[in-house]
Structure 1
Amino acid sequence: MTIFGKLMWFFKEHKKLYILGLSFLFFTEVSQMVSPALIGHFTDVIVSRQMTMNQLFFYAGSILFFAILMYIFRYMWITHIFQGSALLEKTLRQKLFDHYLKMDTTFYQRKRTGDLMAHATNDLSAVQRVASGGVLMLVDSVVIIIFTVISMIIVVDWRLTLIGVLPLPLLAGGVWYLSPKMRRAFTASQEAFSRLSNKSQESIAGIKAIKTLGQENLDVDAFNTEVQKTIQINKKVAFIDSLFGPMATVVMTISYVVMITYGGSLVLSDTISIGQLVSFSTYLGLLVWPMFGLGQLFNVLERGNASYMRVQEILSEKSAIIEDEKGYEIVTHGDIEINIDQFEYPDDAANVLNDVSLKISAGDTLGIVGRVGSGKTTLVKLLLRQFDDYSGKITFANKDIKAYKLSAYRKAIGYVAQENFLFSTTVRDNIRFADVNKTQAEVEEAAKMAALHEDIFNFPEGYDTQVGEHGVSLSGGQKQRLAIARALIINPEILILDDALSAVDARTEKQILRTLKETRQEKTTIIVAHRISSVISANEIVVFDKGRIVERGQHDELVAQQGWYAHMYEQQQVAITFEENLSGKGDGDVGTE
């Protein structure tokens, strides 16, 4: 019953709804108790052979009347109680979704997508059933048992009632014994469902790689293995659950045997009438549902308890990114100053950044280059406030970036990564995702700035073309340029391109960079790249190596230093010359999907 205690906050919040629902449930049970008494009296009248037509119509009409009354009351309690359960599911689902949106990068590195989906679907459904079927079966079973026993005593005989219900404590003992076993089994079942959900999600998301590498059979075998594990765990759940049904049947059978033997002797001794024995049999039949209902309640509560604990475990996790509730809500125009003494990722003692100092004046472009793993993207993550636990300070417009409200600060940034997530909607809605109120003219202007407008014009339905899941219908370069357009349409104070031009050809790259220079003279742009051509025109270029800035200056200055930058520039120029001689003038995107 602990799950009801855990959900008491919700029942108190919607107490009016549940009070009405339980009141109608109470009236339903009262109406249900009348019919067995009428049937008993009707039987005695027939046995005495004193039945008249008026009596026949009276008993038939009364039984029908209470049946209709019971139907009305039943409709009313179902409406109220199940409405409450729907509100609980909505509340928990919204709370969980809001929590997902607030959590930081570390959280998503530790949690698997399939597991998080299982929490949001299977677990919440199990909790929702507690507030509907659980409440119903608990109250309905208890009320019916109490009312039925009282009716047996009043209408029939207290001695027969006492002996008839004596076997029922055996049922309570069985529930007490099976309860902890069922809880552990259901927890294991929910965890198995999470693993299976995660495996399904990974297989579907990676279907291209699986088919390309010819690993279909291996993946099917891995999936079947996970399915078999889940089946074995659920078999244990079914085994424990199935013990309750036969136990309830045995208990009820014992009660019927007592009724037949002891009740029959009371009839023979004229202590009770045949009609009373018939009423007792009918009342005993009413106890069949509560007995099995308690078994189902046991199932629902244990599954709901296991699921609620899993959901609460997720909700109890705290994001390392703490928002200042009184922070600045407006981001003004200004310079960026970065002074990072050191930074290491959570659960990793190695420093990723050391002694990084930068000042980017408003309207300037900063280029960041360096080897893979040198700390370039890590610096971008700190700028995006994906991590806050670093030694040092980052300011924007003379204010610490931690002093801004997250919603305001992140709206001031347009971020484009090398791999971008596109939604399964139209090209237009993907471009204006950050602001759905943008007009068609603004969407087209952003697409032109990203050198994508002509491509879209040639799509089957233009801006109404569906890009497919993850942008499957677009080439790699088109995805990047669409993401750039999505960032540019909000005209951000800070534009960050994190290797976002890697999949476009040299001509398109120059066109985009030229447009950015012309249109963002008052805005700050940060370009992280492996291709030197992406940062040649930057006001300042910094070279990262092992988390430190080892070279800095403009393009000509860095070439003259004959360091890593100059060496990489020469290599890339040779490669470009070779490719041009091999294939002619470059045109189009680099790589497609």
Structure 2
Amino acid sequence: MTVFRDLFWFFRQEKKAYITGIIVLLIVAFFETIPPKVIGIMIDHIKEGTITKAILIRWMVTLLVVAIVLYVLRYWWRILIFGSAVKLSRQLRNELYAHFTKMSPSFYQRKRIGDLMAHATNDLQAIQQTAGSGILTLVDSLMLGGFVLATMAFTISWKLTIISLLPMPVMAIATSRYGTLLHQRFLKAQEAFSSLNDKVQESISGIRVIKAFGYEQDDIESFRKQSEDVVSKNVAVARVDALFDPTISLIVGISFFLAVTFGAKMVIAGELTIGDLVSFTTYLGLLIWPMLAFGWLFNIVERGRASYDRVRALLDEKEEIQEAENAIAAPPTGDIVYDIQQFTYPNEEKPVLRNIRFHLRRGQTLGIVGKTGAGKTTLLKLLIREFDQYDGEIRFGDHEISEYTLHALRSSIGYVPQDHFLFSATVRENIAFACPEASEEDVIKAAKLANIHEDIEQFADGYETIVGERGVSLSGGQKQRISIARALLLNPEVLILDDSLSAVDAKTEERILTALKENRAGKTTIITAHRLSAIQHADLILVLEEGCIAQMGTHEELMREGGWYRNMYERQQLESLVEQGGQVWKINR
């Protein structure tokens, strides 16, 4: 029953609803003891031949009133208790979602999306059932069982009551054992479901790759095996679950046998009337529900405890990026200064960045180039505080970036990542994602700057075209340019294009960069690229090699200096000339 203690914070929060609901259940339990007593009285009247029309009407009216009262009260307690349980589910779901948005990338490297989804669905459902049906079965079994036992003992025969309850300790021991097994197996079943959920999410996201490699049958077989594992573990849960009802039914059957056997002897001995015995067995029938509820309670509680432990473990994960006390809420402006001795990713040993020092003045453009894995994206992630564990400091304006609130810092930065993400919404909604109140004119202006307006005009419904989940209906270049338009709409102090022009051709790239230069005067721009034509106009260019700055300067300075930059630039120029020559050759033919 520890889960009730763990959820006590919520019961205290909703104490008015729960206390009222429990009082209503108490009244219901009291009224449920009346019909068996009326039945016994009527049987004794019939046996003795003293029944009259007035007596019959009086007791029938009594039963009718009891039925109406029970109808109303049962509806009321469902609203109070089950309604509160739904609130718990909503509150935990909101808390989980808010928690997910605060967690750093390393959290999502450790956790699978399918597993997180299972926490927010199956686990919350089990917790909701604990706070609803669990409270019902606990209170109802105790209240109704208590009233019935008291009525049996004090109004009929305490001796027969004790005799009938002799098998109950056996039931208590058995259900406790079942509860322990259920908790262990249900935890494994939930983990298996999480893995299956993750498998489905991953396969659907990667369906294009699966089809491209002809991997459909292998993927189906993999899914089948995981699905069988889920079924196997849930069948193991069901095997324990299935023991509750037969065990309780057996105990109840033994109790009935004892009640009828010893009750009949008491009737013969004159200690009880026939009506008393009928009332007693009817009351014993009422005890079936509390007994079943008691077994069901173990089932619900153990499921809820396993799920609550999983959810609480997730919520206990600490946020790695912490805001300073009295952090600055004003969005930063000004120069950006890097002075980093080294940075190493969590749980890694080798530094990713070393000796990164440069000064980028406000309004300048910074170009960052280097081989794949040189640390270009990592350098940018530190600026937006996706990671904080580095030796050194990064200053934005007059303060270190850790002195600003996360909202203030990130509201000054428009970031277009390599893995551009579009939502299953209209083109307009995707561009205006961070600024939903933006006017149509502003959206179109941003689209023109990103050189995507003409493409959008060709779509079936223009800016109201649904792009599909993750932008599945668009080309790579179109997705990139919509992502750029989304960042440009904010007109940020700093615009970061992290290899965000890789899927567009050279002419489109040139048009976008020209538009940015004309419209972002006085604003800082940072561009990482593999194609050097995208950054040759930059005021400062960094060449990264194995996490260090190998070269730094303007395009002209680096060309004079020689080294990797000049070699790569000349190679790319040659490739461009060869490509153009090839096109001319095709035309001449």
Report the TM-score range of the alignment, normalised by the length of the smaller protein: over 0.9
Which residue of the partner structure matches residue 43 of structure 1?
43
Which residue of the partner structure matches residue 487 of structure 2?
487
Which residue of the partner structure matches residue 350 of structure 1?
350
Q: Which amino acid aligns with 2:161?
A: T
Give the match's secondary structure for 2:504: coil
The within-5 A match list for 1:32-431 is 32-431=32-431
Which residue of the partner structure matches residue 436 of structure 2?
436
Contact 1:32 1:67 in 2 (8 A): no
Alignment deviations for residues 125-145 of structure 1 (CA, whole Å, 9 cap, x no partner): 110111100000110011111
Which residue of the partner structure matches residue 565 of structure 1?
565
Q: Which amino acid aligns with 1:437?
A: E
Contact 2:369 2:544 in 1 (8 A): yes
Which residue of the partner structure matches residue 449 of structure 2?
449
Give the match's secondary structure for 1:243: helix
Contact 2:332 2:409 in 1 (8 A): no
Instruction: State TM-score, norm by structure 2.
Output: 0.98
* Aligned counterparts of 1:63 and 1:263: Cα–Cα separation in 2: 26
**1:256 Cα offset (Å):** 0.6
Alignment deviations for residues 152-193 of structure 1 (CA, whole Å, 9 cap, x no partner): 123311111111112112111112222222111111111111
Q: Which amino acid aligns with 2:216?
A: E
Contact 1:119 1:311 in 2 (8 A): yes
Contact 1:37 1:155 in 2 (8 A): no
Which residue of the partner structure matches residue 547 of structure 1?
547
**1:249 Cα offset (Å):** 0.7
**1:218 Cα offset (Å):** 0.3
Alignment deviations for residues 391-412 of structure 1 (CA, whole Å, 9 cap, x no partner): 0000001210000000111111
* Aligned counterparts of 1:231 and 1:453: Cα–Cα separation in 2: 51
Give the match's secondary structure for 1:423: coil
* Aligned counterparts of 2:110 and 2:476: Cα–Cα separation in 1: 28
Q: Which amino acid aligns with 1:210?
A: I
1:517 is the counterpart of 2:517: yes
Q: Which amino acid aligns with 2:281?
A: S
Give the match's secondary structure for 2:304: helix
* Aligned counterparts of 1:56 and 1:485: Cα–Cα separation in 2: 83
* Aligned counterparts of 1:325 and 1:93: Cα–Cα separation in 2: 28
Which residue of the partner structure matches residue 538 of structure 2?
538
* Aligned counterparts of 2:161 and 2:95: Cα–Cα separation in 1: 49
Q: Which amino acid aligns with 1:32?
A: E
**1:583 Cα offset (Å):** 4.0
* Aligned counterparts of 2:144 and 2:170: Cα–Cα separation in 1: 18
Alignment deviations for residues 332-382 of structure 1 (CA, whole Å, 9 cap, x no partner): 420000011011111111011111101110000000000111111110110
**1:585 Cα offset (Å):** 12
- Structure 1's unaligned 5+ residue stretches are 587-593
Alignment deviations for residues 477-504 of structure 1 (CA, whole Å, 9 cap, x no partner): 0000000000000010110000000000
Alignment deviations for residues 286-344 of structure 1 (CA, whole Å, 9 cap, x no partner): 01111111121111100100000001111111121111241111124200000110111
**1:436 Cα offset (Å):** 0.6
Q: Which amino acid aligns with 1:340?
A: I
Which residue of the partner structure matches residue 501 of structure 2?
501
* Aligned counterparts of 1:199 and 1:262: Cα–Cα separation in 2: 60
> Are the structure 2 counterparts of residues 585 and 436 from structure 1 closer, same or farther at C-alpha, using a change threshold of 3 Å?
farther
Which residue of the partner structure matches residue 589 of structure 1?
none
* Aligned counterparts of 2:399 and 2:165: Cα–Cα separation in 1: 75
Contact 2:332 2:408 in 1 (8 A): no
**1:466 Cα offset (Å):** 0.3
* Aligned counterparts of 2:381 and 2:418: Cα–Cα separation in 1: 14
* Aligned counterparts of 1:52 and 1:280: Cα–Cα separation in 2: 24
**1:48 Cα offset (Å):** 1.3
* Aligned counterparts of 2:286 and 2:485: Cα–Cα separation in 1: 68
* Aligned counterparts of 1:166 and 1:204: Cα–Cα separation in 2: 57
Give the match's secondary structure for 2:480: helix
Contact 1:26 1:143 in 2 (8 A): yes
Contact 2:267 2:273 in 1 (8 A): yes
Contact 2:324 2:405 in 1 (8 A): yes
**1:231 Cα offset (Å):** 1.4
Of residues 495-504 and 259-268 in structure 1, the stretch that sits farther from structure 2 once superposed is 259-268
Q: Which amino acid aligns with 2:423?
A: F
* Aligned counterparts of 1:19 and 1:266: Cα–Cα separation in 2: 41
Alignment deviations for residues 491-519 of structure 1 (CA, whole Å, 9 cap, x no partner): 10110000000000111100000011111
Contact 2:96 2:120 in 1 (8 A): yes
* Aligned counterparts of 1:367 and 1:138: Cα–Cα separation in 2: 66
Contact 1:324 1:402 in 2 (8 A): yes
Contact 1:35 1:63 in 2 (8 A): yes
- Structure 2's unaligned 5+ residue stretches are none
Give the match's secondary structure for 2:33: helix
Of residues 163-172 and 339-348 in structure 1, the stretch that sits farther from structure 2 once superposed is 163-172
Of residues 29-38 and 154-163 in structure 1, the stretch that sits farther from structure 2 once superposed is 154-163
* Aligned counterparts of 2:127 and 2:338: Cα–Cα separation in 1: 47
Contact 1:418 1:501 in 2 (8 A): no
* Aligned counterparts of 1:258 and 1:128: Cα–Cα separation in 2: 39
**1:578 Cα offset (Å):** 2.3
**1:3 Cα offset (Å):** 0.2
Contact 1:129 1:304 in 2 (8 A): yes
Give the match's secondary structure for 2:351: coil
Contact 2:368 2:376 in 1 (8 A): yes
Of residues 324-333 and 7-16 in structure 1, the stretch that sits farther from structure 2 once superposed is 324-333
Q: Which amino acid aligns with 1:268?
A: I
Give the match's secondary structure for 1:527: strand
> Are the structure 2 counterparts of residues 362 and 585 from structure 1 closer, same or farther at C-alpha, using a change threshold of 3 Å?
farther
Q: How many residues align?
A: 586
**1:50 Cα offset (Å):** 1.9
Give the match's secondary structure for 1:266: helix
Q: Which amino acid aligns with 2:579?
A: E
Of residues 501-510 and 151-160 in structure 1, the stretch that sits farther from structure 2 once superposed is 151-160
Q: Which amino acid aligns with 2:516?
A: L
* Aligned counterparts of 2:402 and 2:583: Cα–Cα separation in 1: 50
Q: Which amino acid aligns with 1:380?
A: L
Contact 1:342 1:355 in 2 (8 A): yes
**1:56 Cα offset (Å):** 1.4
